Amino acid sequence: MRRFSLSHSVQVLLFSILLIVALYYGRAFLVPLVFAGILSMLLLPVTERLEQYHFPKALAIVCADLLVVAVVAGIIGLISWQITDLANNAAELESNITQKVEQLKQFIATSLGVSAEEQQQMLKKQQDATSSIGQNIAGVFSFLGSILTDFLLVLIYIFLFLYYRNHLYSFVLKLVEKEKQEQARDVMEQIEKTSRNYFSGLIMMIGCLWIMYGIGFSIVGAKSPIFFAILCGILELVPFVGNLAGTTLAVLMNVAQGSDTSVLIGIVVTYAVVQFLQSYILEPLVVGDKVRINPLFTIGGIVAGELIWGIPGMIMAIPLLGMTKIICDHIESLQPYGFLIGAEEKRKKKDIKNPLTKRG
């Protein structure tokens, strides 16, 4: 029988706290590195297939990097095309927004007793408290520069991870005893397979969401249906809140563009139908149980990921939890934590006992 060790639990707790501190303060370095590591596992079959066709190793990896660039460029191109279409109707959009703002001011004045002059003064104070336009523009360019730098770093790390993959693999094996090297190989293979299957399934599901949202938004008569379909699909990278945020933006933009109530209801109905199809058909078929994490730790991991690494942390939370579970399952002292993180196994009704029942 396994005995409960308080000292061991304290060690795990202290290690977890130190790990969280290191992840938080090292996020500028770790986010591109970890993201590149996960993408490397996804691109490994592409590289190996090209090498089988007698591509030089470096050239095969460059082709894999170019595949990432092509996908990102394609998504940016689609979004830019749709934003250009929105910009062509900028005058109408501005007129509708001004009208909605005036209606909101009248509602506030009638319901809350805050006059239009007082509202204007409050807005003016808020504008004075914020930074100048020049500073805002500088901040935007700084943000875009940071994203571009991180993207280039990810490409470089992908190349290095794939080029030195055998060297890194041998390094991990040297860290463990010889009799446990087979177990270490099994752990690395499971981590690679889990990450690759999860993200490849996620990419396929995003493509399906683009089609379903595009058809649904077009049928209900939403403005810019392709743009919002692409947006909702991409935001699926952020679990749980991504689709909801995209649909909320679609509703708000259609309100600003003067769409009828029936269109807004249609957008919400489209979201509900797509969510139903995604939860009960798409996810079981496309993603499946690639990462078996229970909902409690799934949501907790996403929230913690956002607090530590922001949006990239939310995107990587589930695969990182899956990797953590695999490691815990193969280390005897950590197996209870792997069991805690994992999804609850289905048991027969006769085997389920009430925990409150007194034992004789």
Q: How many CB atoms lie within 10 A of CB 158?
A: 24
Q: What is the pLDDT of residues 126-145, one digit of tens each?
A: 555 444 444 555 555 566 67
Contact 40, 156 (CB under 8 A): no
Q: Is residue 360 part of a domain?
A: no
Strand partners, 293: 342
With 90 as the cut, is the pLDDT of residue 66 above it?
yes
Q: Is residue 127 part of a domain?
A: no
**Whether residue 280 sits in one domain with residue 302:** no
Q: Is residue 21 part of a domain?
A: no
Q: What is the pLDDT of residues 86-113, one digit of tens each?
A: 666 666 666 666 666 666 667 666 666 6
Q: Is residue 1 part of a domain?
A: no
With 50 as the cut, is the pLDDT of residue 348 above it?
no
Amino acid found at 174: K
Query: CA torsion angle for 260, 261, 263, 267 (degrees, to 10)?
Result: 150
Q: Is residue 274 part of a domain?
A: yes
pLDDT of residue 360: 41
**Whether residue 60 sits in one domain with residue 155:** yes
**Whether residue 169 sits in one domain with residue 79:** yes
**Whether residue 237 sits in one domain with residue 161:** no
pTM for the complete prediction?
A: 0.73
Q: Is residue 357 part of a domain?
A: no
Rounded Cα distance, 64 and 159, in Å: 8
With 70 as the cut, is the pLDDT of residue 280 above it?
yes
pLDDT of residue 99: 66
Q: For the residues 334-358, what does the mean pLDDT come to?
A: 64
**Whether residue 280 sits in one domain with residue 206:** yes
With 90 as the cut, is the pLDDT of residue 160 above it?
yes
pLDDT of residue 163: 93
Closest C-alpha to 17, from 215, 308, 333: 308
Contact 36, 157 (CB under 8 A): yes
Segment of 25-39, 113-127, 245-259 carrying the highest mean pLDDT: 25-39
pLDDT of residue 358: 47
**Whether residue 304 sits in one domain with residue 270:** no
Domain housing 333: 291-345
Q: For the residues 227-255, what does the mean pLDDT come to?
A: 79
Q: What is the pLDDT of residues 11-64, one digit of tens each?
A: 778 888 898 899 899 988 999 999 999 889 888 888 999 999 889 999 999 999
Contact 86, 93 (CB under 8 A): yes
- Token reading at 147: 């994203």
Rounded Cα distance, 328 and 16, in Å: 13
pLDDT of residue 144: 65
Contact 227, 213 (CB under 8 A): no
With 50 as the cut, is the pLDDT of residue 359 above it?
no
**Whether residue 224 sits in one domain with residue 162:** no
Q: How many CB atoms lie within 10 A of CB 291?
A: 22
| Cα 146 versus chain centre, distance | 19
Mean of all residue pLDDT scores within the chain:
78
Q: For the residues 222-242, what does the mean pLDDT come to?
A: 80
**Whether residue 230 sits in one domain with residue 339:** no
**Whether residue 109 sits in one domain with residue 239:** no
pLDDT of residue 133: 45
Q: Is residue 166 part of a domain?
A: yes
Q: How many CB atoms lie within 10 A of CB 29?
A: 10
Measured between alpha carbons, how far is residue 4 from residues 7, 184, 208, 329, 336 in Å? 9, 26, 48, 18, 11
Rounded Cα distance, 157 and 160, in Å: 5
pLDDT of residue 289: 57
Q: What is the tally of helices (H) and strands (E) in the chain?
A: 14, 0
Burial 218-252 (b: 16+ CB within 10 A, else e): eebebbbbbbbbbbbbbbbbbbeebbeebbeebbe
With 70 as the cut, is the pLDDT of residue 278 above it?
yes
pLDDT of residue 63: 93
Q: Is residue 186 part of a domain?
A: no
Query: CA torsion angle for 326, 328, 332, 336 (degrees, to 10)?
Result: -120
pLDDT of residue 287: 60
- Token reading at 205: 């599901």
Relative orientation angle of helices 6-25 and 27-52, to the nearest 10 degrees: 90
With 80 as the cut, is the pLDDT of residue 242 above it?
no
The number of domains in the chain is 3
**Whether residue 308 sits in one domain with residue 267:** no
pLDDT of residue 129: 47
**Whether residue 159 sits in one domain with residue 146:** yes
Q: What is the pLDDT of residues 307-322, one digit of tens each?
A: 898 888 888 888 888 8
**Whether residue 282 sits in one domain with residue 295:** no
In which residue are the tokens 């807004």 written? 264
**Of the candidate ranges 133-147, 222-236, 244-258, the one whose mean pLDDT is the lowest:** 133-147
